[in-house]
Structure 1
């Protein structure tokens, strides 16, 4: 289905691009440690910037993680079910839990981001960095997560969920 391919593709590209951010915040931390230990001159901006980059990195990879089934799952009940029953229980879980959560996350993060932008919110550290870009990233991440949830739900309903095939029922003797 084209919509599944588009959503999966978007989250795959975003995930691969965002994963590069880890290199940047690692480089900043190494630079700061080097400056502090070898020159006795710690940077005033590195800590605040790495906190923001890590928050950006962490939040933006939610859709990518869902695409690759990397979120924590508790399969105590569904592991005993057959493939079709598992598929429908997971689909119901998306409808009952995931979609309402993702919608609230997107809606509230939009309000949160716009308030931050309107106020010109900045960090309170030694260097005052703008906070609204990170809060806007929260909204983008919520939308990406919601879209990926739609893709995963469609895969379940259309019987295209490959991850279910790899899940064997538990032998609970």
Structure 2
């Protein structure tokens, strides 16, 4: 299905781009350590910036992790079930737990981000950086997670139960 390819491709692209942020915040931390301990001139901005970059990195990879089935699962009971029953239990889990959570996450993070933007919220401390971009990233991450859930449920509905292997992502290329 083309929509599955689009959603999976979007989260794959976002995941690969956002993974570069890890390199950036690691470089900033190394720079700050060198400046603090070897030059004796600590930065005023590195700590706040790395906290925000890590938050961005962590939150934005939810859809990517779901696409690759990297979230924590406890399959003690379902691993003993037939593939067809396991598939229906997984679909029910998405409908009962995942989608309501993703919806609440998206709604609340949108309100959170808009309030922050309207107030011009900034960090406290020596360097005042805007907070609303990170809060808007929470909303984007919630939407990416929700649409990846749609993709995962679509894959479960479109494939025969015998074709599904537990804990492995379906390749829909």
Question: TM-score interval w.r.t. the shorter chain?
Answer: over 0.9
- In structure 2, the partner of 1:60 is 60
**Partner of 1:106: helix, strand, or coil?**
helix
**In the aligned structure 2, how far is the partner of 1:107 from the partner of 1:161?**
34
- Structure 2 counterparts to residues 3-42 of structure 1, below 5 A: 3-42=3-42
- In structure 2, the partner of 1:102 is 102
C-alpha deviation, 1:164, in angstroms: 3.8
- In structure 2, the partner of 1:152 is 152
Q: Is 1:124 aligned with 2:127?
A: no
- Alignment check: 8 A CA contact 1:69 1:163 kept: no
The 10-residue stretch of structure 1 (138-147 or 73-82) with the greater mean CA deviation from structure 2:
73-82
- In structure 2, the partner of 1:50 is 50
Structure 1's unaligned 5+ residue stretches are: 168-173
- In structure 2, the partner of 1:170 is none
Structure-2 change in CA distance of 1:5 and 1:160 (3 Å): farther
- Structure 2 counterparts to residues 59-78 of structure 1, below 5 A: 59-78=59-78
- Alignment check: 8 A CA contact 1:155 1:161 kept: no
Instruction: Give structure 1 regions of 4+ aligned residues with deviation exceeding 6 angstroms.
Output: 160-163
Structure-2 change in CA distance of 1:39 and 1:112 (3 Å): same
Structure-2 change in CA distance of 1:85 and 1:115 (3 Å): same
C-alpha deviation, 1:55, in angstroms: 0.1
TM-score by length of 1: 0.93
| Aligned-residue CA RMSD (Å) | 1.5
- How many matched pairs? 167
